[in-house]
Amino acid sequence: MSFQAATFPSLCKVCNTDLLGARYDPWLTKLAGDVRRWLAVTKDLDIWIPGDIQVSTQPFRLARAVAGHLLAAEERKDPSSTPPRGTLTNVLRAFFLDEAAPWPEDLHLYVWLYPASSQIIVRGFGIHRVLGATYNWIIGDVLKFFPLGFWITTGPAAGVRYRLTELPLLKPPGIDTSVTLTIPLSAQPPPSWPEQPNDDEVVLYNEESTYVASPLGTRRS
């Protein structure tokens, strides 16, 4: 089963087909498929497997796939107009377009289990825990589709109560580098997090850069 992203008329043919579709999306699809198979064994067949999910991937191709889908999430009245610019957008664009570029050293990319059918994209999003064991603002972009959530942040997601897996992207940026990711089966966020905060958290986001896509025949409450 492949990953079918929501469609936005914002990527040129070269970026959409040659880069995102041909070079980077296969690794996003592979990771999602590998995780689905793990979940099918542990959930659908009711077989308990000790430990966490172990999956192999090429993190720099995977990161470019996530960045590409986030950059594509723009709806403009005039498709020929220049898309909005910002610090995070600019550095992600430079990383996506240059296969030899290193991962921006101030950014972090997290992944976790997302057991829901709706596709969620939230750009320019911030969350802050204000009660109890507080943490400072975490700013970034969120992409979620079954069975995975991704979060590119401008600083470490320190203090959150969940077990998020960070991609190892600060090593020498070999595009073909392969790693084994460990994705926990326990202490995972609820499907609505982080765009819907817990009672002790607050969020800030731009509703014009928030998108929800549900499969045909389903209704989001």
**pLDDT surpassing 50 at residue 168:** yes
Residue 8's pLDDT band (boundaries 50, 70, 90)?
very low
Report, as an integer, the average pLDDT of 116-129: 91
**For position 108, what pLDDT does the model report?**
97
**pLDDT surpassing 80 at residue 2:** no
The pair of three-digit structure tokens given for residue 68, joined into one six-digit string: 């590409």
DSSP one-letter string for 96-154:
HH-TTPPPPTT-EEEEEE---SSEEEEEEEEEEE-SSS-EEEEEEEEEEETTEEEEEES
Interatomic CA distance for residues 150 and 195, integer angstroms:
12
Interatomic CA distance for residues 64 and 55, integer angstroms:
18
The number of beta carbons lying within 10 Å of the beta carbon of residue 5 is: 20
Number of H helices, E strands in the chain: 4, 9
**pLDDT surpassing 60 at residue 7:** no
More confident residue, 108 or 40: 108
Residue 142's pLDDT band (boundaries 50, 70, 90)?
very high
User: Among candidates 99, 89, 100, 98, which has minimal Cα distance to 67?
Assistant: 89
> What pLDDT, in 10s, does the model give residues 23-35?
899 999 999 999 9
> What pLDDT, in 10s, does the model give residues 177-191?
999 999 998 999 999
Lowest mean pLDDT among 12-16, 36-40, 176-180: 12-16
Interatomic CA distance for residues 201 and 2, integer angstroms:
34
Residue 161's pLDDT band (boundaries 50, 70, 90)?
very high
